[in-house]
Amino acid sequence: MSLLDSLKWRYAVKKMNGTKIPAEKLDTIIEATRLAPSGFGLTPYSIIVVEDEETRKKLLPAFYNQAQVVDGSAVIVFAAWNTISEKEIAEYMQEIAAERGVAVDTLNDFSGAINGSFKNKTPEQARVWADKQAYLALGFALVAAAAEEIDATPMEGFKPDAVDEILGLTALGLHSAVAVTLGYRDAANDYLSGAKKVRRAPEKLIIRK
């Protein structure tokens, strides 16, 4: 399918059939998600991939018993950083220097710009910023899944504290921001299967200047 056809095909599946996603397709979706853009390239989140059935069963009540959590093949939780400090930024500079083969001190201006940006943010503002970066990654995951003809249901409806506890995120300095369940639609039992996709008409949604 073309990209637009893939996006027209996808929808937020309500019923999944339990079929496991091939490893190579899941890996492609995860890698596409890793390549998502992020402010400064910092990627202030981790991508938690939960395939284990028992763990997904534990997560089910935290997701208000949305069946896709257990009937799908995997749940991806985007877990954003709780804090963004000079330490994380310095580590990022080291990564850039290593990948690009440059001296880390040549990145001082870039490092200073990032640190300066966060000095002007409250901890809550930094946390919201990190969450927004996680949402960018979610968008890439949804598009990649559609391209691979894997169904994906984005989920904001969950209890963050419960998810954090089950996955041990607090100890990692993380908090759950948003999630997506991946799997295959149970078309015969999903009331949305085959329903026409409804979006605002272009002339109402798009403003060209």
Half-sphere exposure of 140 (CA within 13 A, CB side): 18
- What kind and span of H or E run contains 174? strand 174-183
Q: What is the pLDDT of residue 109?
A: 98
Range of the domain at 54: 3-83+130-205
**Is position 134 within any domain?**
yes
**What CATH code is carried by the domain that includes residue 160?**
3.40.109.10
Please report the pLDDT score of residue 40 as a whole number: 98
Contact 145, 182 (CB under 8 A): yes
Domain membership of residue 34 (yes or no) is yes
Considering its fold, how many domains does the chain have in total?
1
pLDDT tens digit at each of 209 positions of the chain: 899 999 999 999 999 999 999 999 999 999 999 999 999 999 999 999 999 999 999 999 999 999 999 999 999 999 999 999 999 999 999 999 999 999 999 999 999 999 999 999 999 999 999 999 999 999 999 999 999 999 999 999 999 999 999 999 999 999 999 999 999 999 999 999 989 999 999 999 999 99
Q: What pLDDT, on a 0 to 100 scale, did the predictor assign at position 189?
A: 94
Q: Determine, yes or no, domain membership for 24.
A: yes
* Rounded distance between C-alpha atoms, residue 176 and residue 168, angstroms: 10
Compute how many other C-beta atoms are within 10 angstroms of the C-beta atom of residue 203. Answer: 7
Residue 89 lies in a domain: no
Tokens of 89: 């930024």
Per-residue pLDDT, 80 = 98
Does residue 91 sit within a domain? Answer: no
Please report whether residue 97 resides in a domain.
no
Q: Is residue 124 part of a domain?
A: no
Residue 121 lies in a domain: no
> For position 135, what pLDDT does the model report?
98
